[in-house]
Amino acid sequence: MSKSIDAKLLLVGETGNGKSSLGNFILNRKVFSVSDNPQSETKITRGEYGIDDTKDIFVIDTPGLQDAEGTDKEHLVQMVDFIKNNPGLQAIFIIFNFHQPRLPLYIQTLINYYVMYSQELIFGLM
């Protein structure tokens, strides 16, 4: 029998675009709170493993960016701290509104941030 490999996935994006719903879908169970409320349901970065067929998948759900509370910097720091404490991130899912004509500036900034400052966190370098 071959050894299983854990998959660690990070979900980021604006409030209300479906990060928690996608996490629940990937894990095939409801572990992240969702609502139709325009306010962010997710307040802290947290991760969960699946069960049964998804037991080797660890999904990290994050608070929404660009929310009305104006806490992007706080959320980004929280996200980076969580990744530092849970090394081995393998993928970042960027969830954005399909109907926007171009990639939002905050997403471009987020990508640049990860590339410039987080290589050692994401890829285990250094």
For 124, the token pair is 């285990």
What is the structure's pLDDT at 56? 93
Residue 99 has a pLDDT of 78
Sign of the dihedral defined by the CA atoms of residues 111, 103, 91, 84, in that order: positive
List, run by run, the mean pLDDT of 10-residue segments along the chain (126 residues).
70 87 94 82 88 92 71 76 84 82 73 66 52
So what's the pLDDT on residue 22? 95
Name the pTM for this structure: 0.77
Q: Name residue 47's beta-bridge partners.
A: 60
Rounded Cα distance, 51 and 31, in Å = 11
Find out whether 15 and 65 touch, Cβ atoms under 8 Å: yes
pLDDT of residue 1: 44
Which residues have CB under 8 Å from 54's CB, separation 6+? 26, 27, 28, 29
Provide the pLDDT for residue 32. Answer: 94
Give the chain's domains with CATH numbers.
7-122 (3.40.50.300)
Tokens of 48: 């969960």
What pLDDT is attached to residue 126?
45
